[in-house]
Amino acid sequence: MQALHFGAGNIGRGFIGKLLSDAGIQVTFADVNQEIIDAIATRHEYPVNVVGEQSTTEIVKNVDGINSTSNEVIDYIASVDLLTTAVGPQILARIAPTIAQGIIARHNRGNSKPLNIIACENMVRGTSQFKQEIFKALPEELQQWTNTHIGFVDSAVDRIVPPATSKTGDILEVTVETFSEWIVDETQFVGIIPTIKGMQPVDNLMAFVERKLFTLNTGHAITAYLGFYNGIGTIRDAILDERIRLIVRGAMEESGLVLIKRYNFDEQKHMAYIEKILSRFENPYLQDDTARVGRQPIRKLGADDRLIKPLLGTFEYQVKNTNLLIGVAAALNYRNNDDEQAVKLEKLITEKGVKQAFCEISGIDVNNSIVMKVEEIYTAMQDHQFV
């Protein structure tokens, strides 16, 4: 079996690419970073440090690399069995025309074997959104053929893969945590679902998507924003601050009440899952910066993302949201001149005021009672009278 994976960064190499290779699949990485691609294409292997209480270094083998802007990519799409991505939500639309060209070539060559596409991104129904972008670049007469022969499989991915500098200077070396979870929607595959250890097919994907989004992503973001606000550089140091930990746990418990009511989760098991997430943030072997985790605050304050989506759920199920509101206010207070969205957010707040800016970004009505609460917490944080 052959797979083409877009994105040869840390997540691509340390998570998805590794699972595919471990399953005996021949993996070709496609990326614009020529130095990384050349190294993969020359060596056909790279080391992954899996860190935790029992740390190991594993060698990922049977891999190759090509530049994602080359015509060679189209040839690969026309022939491979599986296409995955780990490029970041913002990049999917950019690579969609290339995928469309590959699908056209696949059709023109008479390749009717199933191809399954899985976008492994931190977004809700990412592959379905990716499909929409691909279809914009596909001729209308090919869309029915594409729906018949190509599966667009949504997924939920969870593994902390922080930037890590190799002690030996190896540009391909990557460090990951022990925990990983890759959930895929079994109803969206075309043909036989491949057997990949670490990839779990389910028929209720949204429950797992929202469990991860409302817990790991929500908690991670709030830890980052409160940590950065308090001048704390790493996620580990931030979550070890008892004031921050109390708010982060409280926010995850609030979002957890939404999940328990929406999906009938076992409350005891979900609270244990929250504790597991907190312990992952504490991992002493991972050095993850609050600035990195907090980046792109405008996206993270969107209606379908990790802060607002669970907050909206608290309205739906009439559960408390005190700590989630603090997390939202902390995100609005994110001031990082090295982050383009943080700069844009600050400018928007300066020009329109925090209430209008927040409502414009989140889609929440300005007359909603929580808007005033967010403004109050935001103002207190601006005056350094909070957390």
- Amino acid code (one letter) for 280: R
**At a CB cut-off of 8 Å and minimum separation 6, what does 342 contact?**
294, 295, 297, 334, 335, 336
Give the residue ranges of the annotated binding site.
3-14
**At a CB cut-off of 8 Å and minimum separation 6, what does 85 contact?**
5, 6, 7, 92, 95, 118, 119, 120, 121, 130
**For 59, which DSSP code?**
E
Domain boundaries, given as residue ranges, for the chain: 2-203, 207-382
What kind of fold does domain 2-203 have according to CATH? Rossmann fold (3.40.50)
**Which tokens in the block code for residue 209?**
């998507």
How far is 146 from 152, CA to CA, in rounded Å?
Answer: 10
**Which tokens in the block code for residue 188?**
């969206």
Reduced 3-state DSSP string for 23-48: CCCEEEEEECCHHHHHHHHHHCEEEE
Q: What is the largest CA-CA distance in the chain?
A: 66
**CATH number belonging to domain 207-382:** 1.10.1040.10
Reading phi first (left if > 0) and then psi (alpha if -120 to 50, else beta), residue 353 is in: left
Task: Tell me how far CA of residue 233 lies from CA of 219, 223, 262, in angstroms.
Answer: 16, 11, 35
Show pLDDT as tens, one digit a residue, over the chain (387 residues).
Answer: 999 999 999 999 999 999 999 999 999 999 999 999 999 999 999 999 999 878 899 999 999 999 999 999 999 999 999 999 999 999 999 999 999 999 999 999 999 999 999 999 988 899 999 999 999 999 999 999 999 999 999 999 999 887 777 778 899 999 999 999 999 999 999 999 999 999 999 999 999 999 999 999 999 999 999 999 999 999 999 999 999 999 999 999 999 999 999 999 999 999 999 999 999 999 998 889 999 999 999 999 999 999 999 999 999 999 999 999 999 999 999 999 999 999 999 999 999 999 999 999 999 999 998 999 999 999 999 988 766
Give the residue ranges of the annotated binding site for NAD(+).
3-14
Closest Cα partner for 76 from 52, 51, 50, 103? 103
